[in-house]
Amino acid sequence: MSGLFQVPWSDYQSDLIDALWRTVSYTVVSFVGAVLLGLAVALLRLSKAWPARAVAALYTEVFKNIPLLAIIFLAYFGLASAGLRLDVFTAGCLSLVVFYAAYLSEIFRSAISGVHAGQTEAGEALGLGKAGIFGHVILPQAVRLALPGTNTMLVDLLKSTSLLVTISAAELMSEGRLITSATFRALEVYLVISAVYFALCYPLSQLLLLLERKVRAGVPLSPWRRRRVRAAHVLLAADLGAGADRKEATV
Amino acid sequence: MTEPVTTAQTTAKTTEPAPPTTEAVVRIEGLCKSFDGRLVLDHVNLEVDRGRIVSVIGQSGGGKTTLMRCVNLLERPDQGTIEVAGKVVHQDGRMVCRDLPGLRRTVGMVFQRFNLFPHITAVENVVLAQRKAGVAEPEALERAVALLRRVGVAHRALALPDQLSGGEQQRVAIARALALRPEVLLFDEPTSSLDPEATREVLSVMRELAEEGMTMLLVTHELPFAREVSDHVVFVDGGRIVEEGRPQDVLETPAQARTREFLATYGATS
């Protein structure tokens, strides 16, 4: 063991924590951006107006068929040579956002159109407006459908932040490279860096699986739904306890 | 063309005093609708007076469901006038209604395939539209619970739709439609996807609503039930009203050959 582990890790502790924080920041900012842009592209793709659909389709196809690394280079070096100099964090996040938004838009589109048409009709027949139908009927069901794919993308995005090593983004992988060049202990360093990625991704994906299961089981997660179900429970105490058909009770 | 439904006093509900008015909650005149150039409804007239139950019967694809869906404008007619609760809402292919959600709250609808919201519990299904209509949370919840009791599914109120039987789902759907205190309820083949036991449950709820004086427009294949609860029966075929009148007349001594043919195929033995 002592043969393999010779890097003075305690010297690098605070640098590693900074790098970890940087990786998490890239992940969170890019994922939020990618979800928002992905949702916008999905909605454009489902629009009635064909130009909107065409723009959205073009976007999706372009960014799905270019390697992420090429996008990163374009955003950081390419735009800089054209006079638009982005800082590393902005260029890194922008690349991840445009790349993952393309995939997420496909997931969201199929989830939204996967909600049965009868659901919209039921919402209409109940006098819910367009926004009400989307927010209370379509979106929650689409989230349920989109969750597995979206979760996979989140973990994938976290791992892809390591590609930002190519623009020295000061995240985990870049830190690993720095430590390696100082210690020449590539095997040890990259094993440790990999272990850190694993320690981030594994619990995250397990947590997301748990979330998926809860959502599929219809467990009320939002505070207002919880409050409503709890209040209903109180009102229904007699009915739920008896378990019997109480039709006569209120006629 | 349309005869006001004034003959209904002679039907099963003679014990109650006849409703004082014959005010039409739904009035349809000269309704035409086509899909992709195919005429589905051809100058149809129909009236549903307050407290009355009108059943529309006929073969699948004959336009009955489209006719019903025009009432709350889930389908937009090409021609004709639709009047709901005294207000013209659609005329000559133009939307006159300024408040579509308001119209739809006036008209409750129950679908063949229930269309409950699968991601929330039964009781939440009944609460949702009430909240959007501005009812306060405690009142909305109390009303939802009372309605679920009334249709006999209160003990399943916290189950998700998937966990309910078909009959239970349809009864929750009826409670959901009633939650907004509609002036008329539309039933679109409410028992067509149910087994006989579930059909019996749902029909018994509808019978109670009928006895309470709910105004209902019903598209159905349950001819014995239509015979029992309706004040007026309309036979639609090929987009036209072929025959209409008192249920005993239309269903037992139909005047038109086409009606007799239909009744023979559907084996109305009542």
B95 part of a folded domain: yes
Give the alpha-carbon dihedral of B45, B65, B91, B82, to 10 degrees: 60
pLDDT tens across B32-81, in order?
A: 999 998 999 999 999 999 999 999 999 988 889 999 999 999 999 999 99
pLDDT tens across A198-228, in order?
A: 999 999 999 999 999 999 888 888 899 999 9
B13 part of a folded domain: no
Whether B71 contacts chain A with CB within 8 A: no
Minimum mean pLDDT among A90-94, A244-248, B147-151, B166-170: which range? A244-248
Is it the case that residue B6 has pLDDT exceeding 70? no
User: Whole-angstrom Cα distance, residue A14 to residue B264?
Assistant: 87
Q: What would the mean pLDDT of B125-149 be, rounded to a whole number?
A: 94
Q: Domain range for residue B207?
A: 23-265
What is the rounded average pLDDT for all residues in chain A? Answer: 92
Distance from CA of A232 to the nearest CA of B (A): 7
User: Are the C-beta atoms of residues B2 and B47 closer than 8 Å to each other?
Assistant: yes
What are the beta bridge partners of residue B88?
Answer: B83
Sign of the torsion formed by the C-alpha atoms of A145, A146, A148 and A149: positive
Q: In this structure, what DSSP letter does residue B2 have?
A: P
For residue A124, the tally of other CB atoms under 10 A from its CB is 21
Q: In this structure, what DSSP letter does residue B268 have?
A: -
Q: ipTM, 2 decimals?
A: 0.85
Closest B-chain CA to A239: B155
What is the rounded average pLDDT for all residues in chain B? Answer: 88
User: How confident is the model at residue B10, as a pLDDT?
Assistant: 41
SS3 B35: strand
Q: What would the mean pLDDT of B213-229 be, rounded to a whole number?
A: 92
B178 part of a folded domain: yes
What band does B267 get if pLDDT is binned at 50, 70 and 90? Answer: low
- Domains in chain A (CATH in brackets) are 9-220 (1.10.3720.10)
B173 part of a folded domain: yes
B2 part of a folded domain: no
C-alpha closest to that of B66 among B44, B84, B51? B44
Assign residue B128 the CATH number of its domain. 3.40.50.300
> Cβ B157–A236 below 8 Å, yes or no?
yes
> Cβ B105–A126 below 8 Å, yes or no?
yes
Distance from CA of B85 to the nearest CA of A (A): 16
Is it the case that residue A242 has pLDDT exceeding 60? no
Contacts of B128 (CB under 8 A, 6+ apart): A126, A128, A136, B117, B120
User: How confident is the model at residue A4, as a pLDDT?
Assistant: 73
pLDDT tens across A101-139, in order?
A: 999 999 999 999 999 999 999 999 999 989 999 999 999
B18 part of a folded domain: no
User: How confident is the model at residue A217, as a pLDDT?
Assistant: 87
Is it the case that residue B1 has pLDDT exceeding 50? no
Which residues on A lie below 8 Å from B150 (Cβ)? 247, 250-251
**What ranges in chain B are assigned the alpha helix state H?**
64-71, 100-106, 122-132, 137-150, 166-178, 196-211, 223-229, 247-252, 257-265
Question: Residue A125 is nearest to which of B72, B145, B157, comparing CB atoms?
Answer: B72
Residue with tokens 């407006």, as numbered in its chain = A129
Contacts of B237 (CB under 8 A, 6+ apart): B58, B59, B62, B258, B262
B158 part of a folded domain: yes
Taking CB atoms within 8 Å and a gap of at least 24, the contacts of A97-100 are A97/A30, A97/A33, A97/A34, A97/A37, A98/A37, A98/A63, A98/A71, A99/A34, A99/A63, A99/A66, A99/A68, A99/A71, A99/A160, A100/A30, A100/A31, A100/A34, A100/A38, A100/A153, A100/A156, A100/A157
User: Whole-angstrom Cα distance, residue A50 to residue A137?
Assistant: 25
B10 part of a folded domain: no
pLDDT tens across A20-45, in order?
A: 999 999 999 999 999 999 999 999 99
Closest A-chain CA to B100: A127
Q: Which two tokens stand for residue A240?
A: 């739920």
Return the percentage of chain A with pLDDT > 90, whole number.
Answer: 84
Q: Which amino acid is at B184?
A: V
Distance from CA of B215 to the nearest CA of A (A): 17
Domain count, chain B: 1
